[in-house]
Amino acid sequence: MTGLFWAIAKTLIVVLAAPLMVGWVKWLKCRLQNRKGPPPWQPYRDLLRLSRKHVVLAETASPIFRMAPYIVFSVTILAVSTVPVITVQLPVAALADVIALVGFLALGRFFLSLAGMDVGTAFGGMGSSREVTISSLAEPALLMAFFTLAMNVSSTNLSTVISVLGQRDITLYPSLIFSSMGLVLVAIAETGRIPIDNPATHLELTMIHEAMILEYSGRHLALMEWAAMLKLTLYSLLIVNLIVPWGVALTLVTGDLVFAALIVTGKLLLWGALLAVSETIQAKMRLFRAPQFLGLAFILSLLGMMSHIILEVQ
Amino acid sequence: MAWAGGLRQNFPVNDEMAILIAESAVLTALLSAILPLFFLNRPHLQSLVAFFLLGGSGLAAAWGGGMALLLQTTGQVVLPIGLPWLHVSLCLDPLAGFFLFIVGFITFTVACYGSGYIREYIGGQLSIGTLTLFTGLFACGMFLVLLAADAFSFMLAWELMSLASYFLVVFQHHQPENRHAAFIYLLMAVVGGAFLFLAYGVLAGFSDGFSFAAMKAADLSPTWATIAFTFAFLGFGLKAGIVPLHVWLPLAHPVAPSHISAMMSGVMLKVAVYGFIRFVYDLLGNIIWQWGVVVLLVGSASAVLGVLYALMQHDLKRLLAYHSVENIGIIYIGLGLSMIFHATHHLEIAALALIAALYHCLNHAIFKSLLFLGAGAILQQSRQHDMETMGGLIKKMPVTATCFLIGCISISGLPPFNGFVSEWLIFQAALQGPILKSGILGAMIPVAAAMLALTGALAAACFVKVYGIVFLGRPRSAEISEAQDPSFGMRLSQMILAVCCLGFGIFPTWVVRAINGIPESLMGTGLSSVTDNGWLWLTPVSPQTASYGAPAVFFGILVSWLIVFVFLHPLRRDNRIRLGPAWDCGFGPLNSRMQYTATAFAMPLRRIFSFIWLIVEKVEPAGPGEAPRYLLKIDDRVWLMFYVPIGKIMLKLAERASRIQGGNLRVYLSYSFFTLLFLLWVIV
Amino acid sequence: MLIATLSLPEQVVLTLAALILLSSFLLLAQVRLDSLINIFALQGLLIFFATVLMAFIAGKYHLLISAALTLFLKVYFIPGQLRKLVIRLDIRREVEVIGNPMLIMLFAAALVLFSYYVALPIRELSLLSTRNTIAISLAVVLIGMLMVISRRKAVAQVVGFMSMENGLFFAAVVSTYGMPMVVELGIAFDVLVAAILFGVFFFHIRTEIGSLDTDRLNHLTEVEK
């Protein structure tokens, strides 16, 4: 029962802390651009404000438009609940593995794209078209990176992967280096950060995620935005816990858990800082260069897998 | 199998019952073909009788097949018909039972659908009696293929199936392109049949008889086994639709009536897969790993190319036909993995891969039939088959739209529906690749898994396009605005299939346990650990390696949805939703032409993968007083690379051969004269 | 995993080998000429580090001389010369279109698998703990050759040729403690002379046919069409 309690607590904490992660990255970017910027807790105020407003629904909207925010948000919450954050000993660990995690995110993306096409405007169609193009190139790269990881550890269960990696002696695995690089590139593409998509833009020629949620308002928009923040936090957790697996508690002892929580927070803050720096020094790529970016991610994952077979196994 | 034993104790049957039920299914199908011919002037009665009997035969087949599968029985019967020295022998073992269940169930749902669908043909120029006759014969042929236990009856039933389906494809024969499509289909079916004859011939040459039991006992050298395998691969592959032998699929499926397309795509392709599995695993037995590599590579190529071709289509049924190519590719990936692991003596993983492939057969039959039935409903209501004219149908046809949505989610392989489970199982089998000692094979298998991942992502992209263009947005033509939900039978069949999609996705452990009997009977081992952790968790290899708790996932989605909904909808006063026009940037009212079209949606992918297709794109600028014209033609390269050269060579050879027909009387007489001389010399 | 049994310097050598393979792929993907030369210099730097580490692992300190030679030639001199050449010929910003990038990358990946398959029996013969890298160095050589074939600009083809030599050198270092010194120096001077000669040739080609597109050399054929 304590396991279940900690699982629900973890999910709740991550869901509530996701806007802070996004706020932190945005605040750092502003500072790097020599601006004062809004405080890191600004996203909370945005979400509260949105949830109080009325919903204005387009006349051509269908039930899918109204269902989609709830589905996207609940599927993202489910995905978050399967990722080990501070401990690997949770019962929900057996719920899903990395492939199912990718499946959940794909389900969310499916409904998000449908919602974009629902109202019958050109913006939504454009956003959906670009989103499915980019995700159809990113998903194989992501799965290849996970496969390399799985072949290294002989398991696709996330908790097993993190606990095995965390308990090994420090060894330099070229396959893990490459698959981590691939994972980072795919995470940037999937969460819609520069250089694939600009999270701050509202110009029609440059938006992907914003175009799909353009028609949403009120609490629906709050849910969609929150889901996007949650997705960024999810990918960040995956990256920091897979690349630097030390610090994740292996038991349910409270002292271990508190220590692990502090370490994970530190890792996330550091990752947020790196993300902010990388977004500040790069510009957004034009859409038809995105396949090259994702092709690079795929080649990195493929190289990781081939390094594993060639260099790491007898 | 303790589980099957337990079932048998509760339902005492003998081995013969299942096959008796299956035979009754065959007879009922035959009856559904012949009986309506007696009511020539009453088409409504004809269709009612035919589809009632067809539904009954489908149910009987599903029952008999399910019984054979779940209870692990093997029934055999020898019928006193056929050639004097070669009676027709039938056998129903778990493998045949599984496929019989699939065929029977889909036949039943198509029968529910059919009587409502063919109402539009009544009163026209086409005869309903013909349609029902050949539908019944088609079903009968498929059942007999699955039951056949000797090569002769197998080929008889196979040809019956092909011929009956040809007449169904050419049913609407007034348009020349329909006749052309049907001709290509018949040609390729006949060529496939010829390859199968050769394959069985090779096997029969080494055994003492035509029955499968005799062929199983035959001992072939690896070379001859490979020759037999090649013929069987080509023959069954032609019918299943692997690249490059798939060209008849996108021609024939759009042309046939929609319920027949559902049967062809959902079931006939699976019968071809059954034939392949029976030939390789049962009759040949000693699998060589190179065969597995070929099957794996061809499967990967079919999967990726199938979905890429499908992306560019805007005819709804042709798009679905190309997706069948893709899914058959996925099934072949599973089969290839199974063959490789079998050949290297990792029998448990081979069983896992085979179970994954069989599960995908079941899933594809269900969701592909669902999609085709939905497409048929749209076609019947609006007479449109081009996606570019559709839109906004979710408001006009809500039941069809909901079921079609479930079909789209399932075929994209998204949890918690059934498509995800079979793809997950194939991934798990592929991830066991490193256990192979050969590094090259161990490297090739994850690359095939990457191809499968690419296929899944592209399929999701394609079905977002399909659902978004067809059902969402605004109607793009006047005919579509008139559409409504179809009749009760058509709705019921779609709902049954949709519920099955969900059911087979949420309860995978039961399905896997049921299918587990097939690798046990074919290879000797099944998956031992699959349900070690209870019915909730699917653990194909071991709980630490991978696990998937499907009911928990479904429950989790529902619970989190409920929590969010309740949390954000407290009973407040000010919770209204206002309706307003869609955002138009202040330029004025939007019309339906301002939406994305199917071609526009797929354009980024077309640019990225442009080397796959043969694309002709022309823009003619506006002349005086005219609008500019845009032409986009996307063709299959395979047709140009393979079939056109083969056609040219055949024509040239035929021309050379036709020179024998000189037309001169004395030349013909001299042929007889020289033949006579030759025979006299040989005999003496 | 075998790699866990190796010492840290050996693991670093394996990681460097993988990074060298990555740099080969990046060379294939580059479109602009100045970034091409930079990545080539990076490849040389990685080989330098690998050679230094191998010298310490195997205790053969003559490898340090080879390493120093590599650093001077492959990281400073030759890239420097190529850069000067590119500036003098005023083609720094020229962008060339290579066949179909995706297909070429996939073919390069297939080449890696193929060289792994070819190197399997050779791997048995070496006694070094880093013998797994023979496949990688063979792949670098083959990818260099692919670069020579698939590019049109002469400078890119030269870089491809140089990376082939990089691969050969790397193979020698990690599988056999380096080549005999004489052979080493001979190859180094050959490459140096080749670089100088290429520079001279480029000028002549440029003045003769007006561009450095080697496909245009087809015009020099003596056969009447």
pLDDT tens across B69-124, in order? 888 777 788 877 777 777 888 888 889 999 999 999 999 999 999 888 888 888 77
Scanning every residue of chain C, which has its alpha carbon at the shortest distance from the alpha carbon of A171?
C4
Q: Is B395 in Cβ contact with A117 (below 8 Å)? A: no
How far, in Å, are B274, B433, C114 from residue C132 at the CA level? Answer: 43, 20, 14
Cα–Cα distance between A60 and A117 in angstroms, integer? Answer: 11
Scanning every residue of chain C, which has its alpha carbon at the shortest distance from the alpha carbon of A302?
C109
The two structure tokens encoding residue B41: 């002037």
Cα–Cα distance between A215 and A118 in angstroms, integer? Answer: 10
Pairing of strands A55-58, B577-580: parallel
Distance from CA of A96 to the nearest CA of B (A): 5
- pTM (two decimals): 0.90
Tell me whether B444 touches chain C (CB under 8 Å): yes
CA angle centred on B107, ends B352 and B103, rounded to 5°: 25
pLDDT score of B626: 84
Tell me whether A137 touches chain C (CB under 8 Å): no
DSSP assignment of B497-562 equals: HHHHHHHHHH-HHHHHHHHTHHHHHHHS---SSTTTT-SS-B-SS-TTT--B-HHHHHHHHHHHHH
Pick from A172, A181, A300, A305 the residue to mutate for testing the C interface (most C CBs within 10 Å). A172
pLDDT of B463 above 80: yes
Region C88-103 average pLDDT: 69
Q: Is A95 in Cβ contact with B552 (below 8 Å)? A: yes
Burial environment of residue B386 by CB neighbours within 10 A (0 to 12, 13 to 18, 19 or more): middle
Distance from CA of A149 to the nearest CA of C (A): 13
Q: Is A300 in Cβ contact with C3 (below 8 Å)? A: no
Scanning every residue of chain B, which has its alpha carbon at the shortest distance from the alpha carbon of A306?
B443
Distance from CA of A77 to the nearest CA of B (A): 7
Partners of residue A306 in chain C, C-beta under 8 Å: 109, 112-113, 116
Which amino acid is located at B342 in the chain?
H
How far, in Å, are A251, B76, B287, C4 from residue B96 at the CA level? Answer: 49, 12, 20, 49
The two structure tokens encoding residue B392: 């906004």
pLDDT score of B111: 92
Is B315 in a helix, a strand, or coil?
Answer: strand
Scanning every residue of chain A, which has its alpha carbon at the shortest distance from the alpha carbon of C16?
A174
Closest-CA residue to B371 (of B396, B397, B408): B408
Q: Is B544 in Cβ contact with A157 (below 8 Å)? A: yes
Distance from CA of A189 to the nearest CA of C (A): 19
Tell me whether B667 touches chain C (CB under 8 Å): no
Cα–Cα distance between B254 and B178 in angstroms, integer? Answer: 9
Which residues are within 8 A (CB) of A147 and not within 5 positions of it... i.e. 6 or more apart? A301, A305, B431, B446, B449, B450
Cα–Cα distance between A311 and B119 in angstroms, integer? Answer: 66
Scanning every residue of chain B, which has its alpha carbon at the shortest distance from the alpha carbon of A311?
B439
Cα–Cα distance between B57 and B139 in angstroms, integer? Answer: 9
Closest-CA residue to C100 (of C27, C169, C205, C28): C28
Could you say which of C18, C101, C102 has the minimum Cβ distance to residue A307?
C18
Scanning every residue of chain C, which has its alpha carbon at the shortest distance from the alpha carbon of B444?
C113
More confident residue, B22 or A188: A188
Q: Is B546 in Cβ contact with A94 (below 8 Å)? A: no
Q: What is the DSSP letter of C61?
A: T
Distance from CA of B637 to the nearest CA of A (A): 23
Cα–Cα distance between B385 and B510 in angstroms, integer? Answer: 38
Cα–Cα distance between B370 and B228 in angstroms, integer? Answer: 36
H helical segments located in B241-389: 249-255, 258-263, 269-277, 289-311, 316-343, 347-382
pLDDT score of A110: 95
Tell me whether C120 touches chain A (CB under 8 Å): no
> Do residues A25 and A275 make contact, with C-beta atoms less than 8 angstroms apart?
yes
Cα–Cα distance between B37 and C166 in angstroms, integer? Answer: 80
Distance from CA of C132 to the nearest CA of B (A): 12
Q: Is B440 in Cβ contact with C116 (below 8 Å)? A: yes
pLDDT score of C98: 65
> Do residues B377 and B498 make contact, with C-beta atoms less than 8 angstroms apart?
no
Confidence bin at B549 (pLDDT 50/70/90): confident
> Do residues B496 and B505 make contact, with C-beta atoms less than 8 angstroms apart?
no
Q: Is A150 in Cβ contact with B431 (below 8 Å)? A: yes
pLDDT per residue as tens digits for the range B576-592: 788 888 887 777 788 88
Cα–Cα distance between B161 and B169 in angstroms, integer? Answer: 12
pLDDT score of B470: 92
**C63-99 exposure pattern, b = at least 16 Cβ within 10 A, e = fewer:** beebbebbbebbbeebbebbbebbeebebeebebebe
Cα–Cα distance between C52 and C42 in angstroms, integer? Answer: 15
Could you say which of C102, C103, C116 has the minimum Cβ distance to residue B439?
C116
Q: Is B395 in Cβ contact with A125 (below 8 Å)? A: no
Confidence bin at B1 (pLDDT 50/70/90): very low
Is C7 in a helix, a strand, or coil?
Answer: coil
Scanning every residue of chain A, which has its alpha carbon at the shortest distance from the alpha carbon of C6?
A171
pLDDT score of C209: 67
pLDDT score of C219: 63
DSSP assignment of B644-673 equals: HHHHHHHHHHHHHHGGG----HHHHHHHHH
Phi/psi at A313 (5° precision): -115, 150
pLDDT per residue as tens digits for the range B471-511: 998 888 888 888 888 888 889 999 999 999 999 998 888 88
Question: Which H or E element spans position A57?
Answer: strand A55-58
pLDDT per residue as tens digits for the range B396-446: 899 999 999 999 999 999 988 999 999 999 998 988 887 887 777 877 888
pLDDT of B571 above 60: no
Which amino acid is located at B196 in the chain?
L
pLDDT score of C1: 46
* Residue for token pair 């007034």: B174
Adjacent-strand bridge partners of B88: B79
Cα–Cα distance between A294 and B664 in angstroms, integer? Answer: 70
pLDDT of B645 above 80: yes
Region C74-96 average pLDDT: 78
B·C CB contacts under 8 A: 12
pLDDT score of C222: 58
Highest mean pLDDT pick, A271-275, C107-111, C207-211: A271-275
pLDDT per residue as tens digits for the range B610-637: 888 888 888 888 888 888 888 888 888 8
Cα–Cα distance between B435 and B522 in angstroms, integer? Answer: 22
More confident residue, C161 or B82: C161
Tell me whether A302 touches chain B (CB under 8 Å): yes
Closest-CA residue to B127 (of B167, B180, B86): B167
Pick from B300, B444, B611, B612 the residue to mutate for testing the C interface (most C CBs within 10 Å). B611
Partners of residue C22 in chain A, C-beta under 8 Å: 178, 300, 303
Closest-CA residue to A84 (of A275, A263, A305, A301): A263
Could you say which of B453, B547, B604 has the minimum Cβ distance to residue A97?
B547
pLDDT of B313 above 80: yes
Report the C-alpha dihedral over residues A239, A242, A246, A247, rounded to 10 degrees: 60
pLDDT score of B36: 83
Q: How many residues does chain C have?
A: 225
Q: Is B580 in Cβ contact with A157 (below 8 Å)? A: no
pLDDT of B326 above 80: yes
Q: At what angle do helices C133-150 and C154-176 cross, to 10 degrees?
A: 170
**Domain chopping of chain C, boundaries:** 3-216
Distance from CA of C195 to the nearest CA of A (A): 31
Q: Is B446 in Cβ contact with A118 (below 8 Å)? A: no
Q: Is B444 in Cβ contact with C100 (below 8 Å)? A: no
ipTM of the complex: 0.93
Q: At what angle do helices C78-88 and C154-176 cross, to 10 degrees?
A: 180
Is B89 in a helix, a strand, or coil?
Answer: strand
Q: Is C100 in Cβ contact with B440 (below 8 Å)? A: no
Cα–Cα distance between B151 and A73 in angstroms, integer? Answer: 56
> Do residues B433 and B445 make contact, with C-beta atoms less than 8 angstroms apart?
yes
Pairing of strands B577-580, B614-620: unpaired
Which chains would you list as touching A if contact means 3+ CB atom pairs under 8 Å?
B, C
The two structure tokens encoding residue B644: 């056109």
Tell me whether A152 touches chain C (CB under 8 Å): yes
Tell me whether C2 touches chain A (CB under 8 Å): yes
* Residue for token pair 């070094």: C128
Closest-CA residue to B561 (of A1, A296, C126, A66): A66
Which residues are within 8 A (CB) of B170 and not within 5 positions of it... i.e. 6 or more apart? B178, B179, B182, B255
All residue ranges of chain A with pLDDT < 70 are: 93-94, 96, 202-206, 314
Q: Is C135 in Cβ contact with A300 (below 8 Å)? A: no
Report the C-alpha dihedral over residues B582, B587, B592, B594, rounded to 10 degrees: -110
Highest mean pLDDT pick, B135-144, B618-627, C143-152: B135-144
Which chains would you list as touching B if contact means 3+ CB atom pairs under 8 Å?
A, C
Pairing of strands B629-635, B614-620: antiparallel
What is the distance of C-alpha B532 from the center of its chain? Answer: 32
pLDDT score of B192: 94
Scanning every residue of chain C, which has its alpha carbon at the shortest distance from the alpha carbon of B610?
C100
Cα–Cα distance between A197 and A191 in angstroms, integer? Answer: 9
CA angle centred on C179, ends C177 and C182, rounded to 5°: 140
